[in-house]
Amino acid sequence: MLCFLTLKYNPSYKIYSSINCDLWGGDENTVLFKEGITFLNSKKFKTVDLTGDNVLDKIKIEKAQNDIRKLVGSKDSVSGIKFHFGQKSEYWTIVKVLDILQIEGANLYMFYKNDIWVTNPKRLKPNEMQDIRLLLIGDVFGQEVYVKDNEINIIWQKIKLNYQATIEICKKYCLPIIAYILMLFFTIRRIINEKKGIR
C-alpha cells in the first residue's frame, strides 16, 4: 500500500507531456506560405472566436472539442474549424486548443497570424494514389512532408504509433513496476523462509 501511495504522490512520477510546434514567422513570400493560403481558401471553416472572457471561452472550447471529434471521425476534407485568438485572449486558451487537437487526433492544423486552422487532409481515390505534399502534419509547420496515402502506409503508420505509445508507457512506468515486482518477490520469499524457520 505504501508503494502505491509513494507512486501516486511523489512528484518524480508525475506525467508531463509537451507538443513541439513552430508558430508562423510572418514571412508571406515563401512558396510554402502561398500554397498554404491556397489550401486554406479551398476549405469551408467554422470560426471559434476566443475573446478573453474566461467563462465564455471555456464553453466555446468545450463545444469546439465535440466539433473536432466529429470532424476527425467524419474524414470530411472540405470542412474545417478556425480558432481565432483576439487581442485579449489568454495563454491558457492556446494551450487548451493544442491539447484538444492532440487528444482528438487532429492530424492537420496550421498556425497563421492569430489563428489555428484545423482540417482533414484530402483523401485520394485508389486510381489517384501518388506522393503528395502536405503543408502540415500534426505539429510540424514549415517543413515539407511527403506522405503516400494508401492503405498499407496507413496501417504501417498506425503500427508505428502504437509501438511508440507502448515504448513511452514502458519508459514512464518501467522503474515503478520493477520496484513493485522486486518488493513482492522479497516479501513472498521472506514469508516462505519464516514458515520454514530460516531467517
Separation of alpha carbons 33 and 142, rounded Å:
8
Beta bridge partners of 148: 131
- pTM (predicted TM-score): 0.53
Q: pLDDT by residue (tens digit) across 42-81? A: 888 899 999 889 899 999 999 999 999 998 888 777 888 9
**What backbone phi and psi angles, to 5 degrees, belong to 151?**
-65, -40
| Residue ranges, the chain, pLDDT below 70 | 1-5, 7-27, 31-32, 123-160, 199
Q: What is the pLDDT of residue 24?
A: 62
Q: What is the pLDDT of residue 129?
A: 47
Beta bridge partners of 141: 136
Q: What is the pLDDT of residue 123?
A: 64
Q: What is the pLDDT of residue 127?
A: 52
Q: How far is CA 27 from the centre of its chain?
A: 26
Q: What is the pLDDT of residue 7?
A: 65
* Region for residue 75 given its phi and psi (left: phi exceeds 0; alpha: psi -120 to 50; beta: otherwise): left
* Region for residue 26 given its phi and psi (left: phi exceeds 0; alpha: psi -120 to 50; beta: otherwise): left
